[in-house]
Amino acid sequence: MGSNAALKASLGMGAYAAAKAGVHSLTQALAEELKGDGVTVNAVLPSIIDTPANRKDMPDADPSAWVAPDDLAAVILFLASEAARAVTGALLPVTGRV
């Protein structure tokens, strides 16, 4: 699980963005290391996920633009499925309308 914040950091999120950038690099390195063994390694990069905690922490935001948990889960399930067997090293943004 990566984060779109590593591609487009917001004010005050430098440490978080840097940590998630490490996840992105690790994903791509592991994809290279393991592709010969038939193992795929990918990361989804969500923006803000519509959760009760995020709604509480950001009461003035518009959650209709956020990523629905079911939509994020659908992307993860695709990447874990046989249909995604040819996808490895992908950093897939899942950003809703943020």
CATH code, domain carrying 45: 3.40.50.720
pTM of the model: 0.90
The total of other beta-carbon atoms located within 10 Å of residue 15's CB is: 9
Domain hosting residue 71, numbered range: 4-94
Domain count, the chain: 1
Choosing from 16, 19, 28, 93, the catalytic residue is 16
Tell me, what's the pLDDT at 98? 87
Tell me the pLDDT tens digit for each residue of 72-98.
Answer: 999 999 999 999 999 999 999 999 998
Is 64 tagged catalytic? no
**How much is the pLDDT for 9?**
87
pLDDT for the residue numbered 19: 95
Which 8-state DSSP code applies to residue 45? E
The kind and range of the H/E element at 77 are helix 69-79
